[in-house]
A and B are shown apart, each in its own frame.
Chain A
Amino acid sequence: MDFNGLSMDQAPPISAPLRFYLVAPVFGIIAGFMILFSSVDMLSSRYSMDSVVITHAITIGFLGFVMLGSLTQMLPVLAGVVIPKVDAISKISFGLLVVGVLTMLLGLMGESTLFNIISLLSLGVGFTLMIGVIVLAILKVKNFNATVKAMSTSLVFASLVVIMGLFLLLTYIDNDFAEYRYVVANIHSVWGIFGFGGILIIGVTFQVLPMFYVAPRFKQFCKKRVVWIISFGLVLWLFLNIYFDAYSYLAKIWIALFFWAFATTVWKKLNLRRRPISDVTVWYWRVSSIFLTLGSFFWVFDDYFDNQYTVLVGLFIGGGFIFAIMVGMLYKIVPFLVWFHLNAMGYMTIPTINEMINKRLAKLQFILLMLSFFGFVITFFYSQFLEISAICFISSMMLLEYNIIAPVLLYMKIKKTKPDFDMSAFATS
């Protein structure tokens, strides 16, 4: 067995996850401004250029970055393996992905072939590098627990989603707008949301709910079977969607039922948690459960309305579920990483993780984000709410950036002082 995950000198340097975390809200702000200057008509269609661009500013720029940052940090702790050359690879991959997302936004909006080509190459290499080293690390895992299995499964979906995404970007470069492109786009989005995002969150939840809230552990059935059941549903959906579309709703019901069961389980576990303390992160988990339930069933019923409400489904699941959980987790992970690394370097008299982020500002950020989500839903029916919702979203992202940068600035300030003890034998950065 590999012990590296237990050793501080093998743990990823704090900069590896932080660079992904700190840039994520910037892409949120960019997406917010794009919504602000877009029109409701454009945003109501999932295939309009505005929708595609804004969606990817969020899905790659925010969700993708937070997920990749978390994988670099959590894999050593949860699986006991080291990601090879994590610092160098994460730096290169991070740079490429930032360039890739920005050029994608510019390329698609400005119909620039040059930017689209740069984006295609940057995103292709950036994702391949990052997913590649994570897969190499996972291959070394001996103790395949439920979380590692879920991470591995989600990475399979991630790889396929990236390949499909690159293919779709290529169709903008060579102007190939054949009908099958929409089929690929549909699979790309469904597998991206449920296969990559959804399964990764399920796997991580098995560990973090008991860890952060002392909630009861998940039952073995849930840990051993749910990921396979959902994966089966996603593959079945693919098959039906391509060959027997009239029956694809059956696979959708299958997937929706298990995500709903997961959402309900999370809600119940939170009710039974041994730590009664409620903070903004618990609120995020609660609303995520609600949005996941709503979104899953909206997705099924959307079929009966000729997919008129697909944008709302994306808003509920991508925004209310995945986005909200990630924001909540940033409030836990960033201060803990700062505390953990400082303490490991011998700084004993440092603020606790509760004191690193202003609780009132975190609550305000939550309220603004929720107002923006509800606003976007209302905007779908009453267009006059677009601007105010976008402004709420931009403000919440700015506040999030401020809230998570505060502990990092504290880290940099404390690191310049002399530690209470010389812990150089254990320190990482």
Chain B
Amino acid sequence: MSSIKEFLTADHSRCDELFAVMEDKAMVSLGDAKAACEEFKDATERHFQMEERVMFKEFEEKTGMTEGPTSMMRHEHTQMRNLTKQMCEAIDDNNSDRFFGLTETLMILLQQHNMKEEQMLYPLAQQHLNAESDEVVEMMQSMTVQ
């Protein structure tokens, strides 16, 4: 089974791919990107919840750090949820300028967030949760989105 770091990093790539598909479609016709936007929204929500409800929780329990990096990552998740919601609304309003403005902003926020997780938080989580790594990955895979 893949490690926590490998599993979540691969999921970042999956979300990036969905994001790119959505932008490809929106460039042809904004209306056509609606389904792709919802798919991206669902995928990122799942990713955020896998972290917040499983990995962060395990990490916080193990290290006792609840106000550290996980708190900041949760905050950035909130920022991204808000932007994603606005993005899907821009499609409903057929506002192309707004949509691409939001995608540009979200993409940079998302990428710098991923970079911090992949380069700092995931290696650290892997280090602290190494013994239960398989179990944590399995819990994330089987988690139902709320």
Interface residues of A (CB under 8 A from B): 1, 3, 5-8, 77-78, 80, 143, 145, 207, 210-212, 214, 274-277, 332, 336, 339-340, 343-344, 348, 351-355, 426
- Point out the residue from B20, B98, B104 that lies within 8 Å of A353, measured CB to CB: B104
Contact with A along B96-115 (1 / 0, CB 8 A): 01101110110111011001
Q: What 8 A-B pairs are tightest by C-beta distance, nearest first?
A: A352-B101, A354-B101, A274-B20, A211-B111, A6-B69, A3-B69, A352-B105, A80-B120
What are 13 A-B contacts with C-beta separation under 8 Å?
A1-B124, A3-B65, A6-B121, A77-B112, A211-B111, A275-B107, A276-B24, A277-B100, A352-B102, A354-B97, A354-B100, A355-B97, A426-B75
In the complex, B38 has a CB within 8 A of chain A: no
B120:A143 contact, CB within 8 angstroms: yes
In the complex, B72 has a CB within 8 A of chain A: yes
Smallest Cβ distance from B104 to chain A, in angstroms? 5
Considering only residues 79-96 of chain B, those with a C-beta below 8 Å from chain A are 79, 82
Given contacts A6-B120, A80-B120, A276-B23, contact A336 B108 (CB under 8 A): yes
Smallest Cβ distance from A336 to chain B, in angstroms? 5
In the complex, B119 has a CB within 8 A of chain A: yes
Residues of A near B119 (CB, < 8 A) are 78, 80, 143, 145
Given contacts A78-B115, A352-B98, A354-B100, contact A336 B124 (CB under 8 A): no
A1:B120 contact, CB within 8 angstroms: yes
**Cα-based distance from A340 to B111 in the complex (angstroms):** 13
Given contacts A3-B68, A7-B69, A276-B23, contact A211 B120 (CB under 8 A): no
B contact residues, range: 20 to 34
A77:B16 contact, CB within 8 angstroms: no
Given contacts A143-B119, A275-B23, contact A353 B105 (CB under 8 A): yes
Smallest Cβ distance from A9 to chain B, in angstroms? 9
In the complex, B123 has a CB within 8 A of chain A: yes
**Cα-based distance from A158 to B94 in the complex (angstroms):** 50
In the complex, B17 has a CB within 8 A of chain A: yes
Residues of A near B100 (CB, < 8 A) are 277, 354
Smallest Cβ distance from A64 to chain B, in angstroms? 24
Given contacts A6-B73, A211-B112, A332-B108, contact A277 B101 (CB under 8 A): no
Beta-carbon nearest neighbor of A77 in chain B: B112
Residues of A near B24 (CB, < 8 A) are 276
B105:A7 contact, CB within 8 angstroms: no
| Sample of 18 further A-B pairs with CB below 8 A, known A6-B121, A8-B72 | A3-B69, A3-B120, A6-B68, A6-B72, A6-B73, A211-B111, A212-B107, A274-B20, A275-B107, A336-B105, A339-B105, A352-B104, A353-B108, A354-B101, A354-B105, A355-B97, A355-B101, A426-B72
Residues of A near B123 (CB, < 8 A) are 143
Beta-carbon nearest neighbor of B114 in chain A: A211
B115:A211 contact, CB within 8 angstroms: yes
In the complex, B116 has a CB within 8 A of chain A: yes
A77:B115 contact, CB within 8 angstroms: yes
In the complex, B35 has a CB within 8 A of chain A: no
**Cα-based distance from A140 to B82 in the complex (angstroms):** 34
- Point out the residue from B27, B104, B116 that lies within 8 Å of A5, measured CB to CB: B116
- Point out the residue from B17, B82, B116 that lies within 8 Å of A80, measured CB to CB: B116
- Point out the residue from A80, A212, A352 that lies within 8 Å of B111, measured CB to CB: A212
Residues of B near A339 (CB, < 8 A) are 105
Contact with A along B12-24 (1 / 0, CB 8 A): 0000110110011
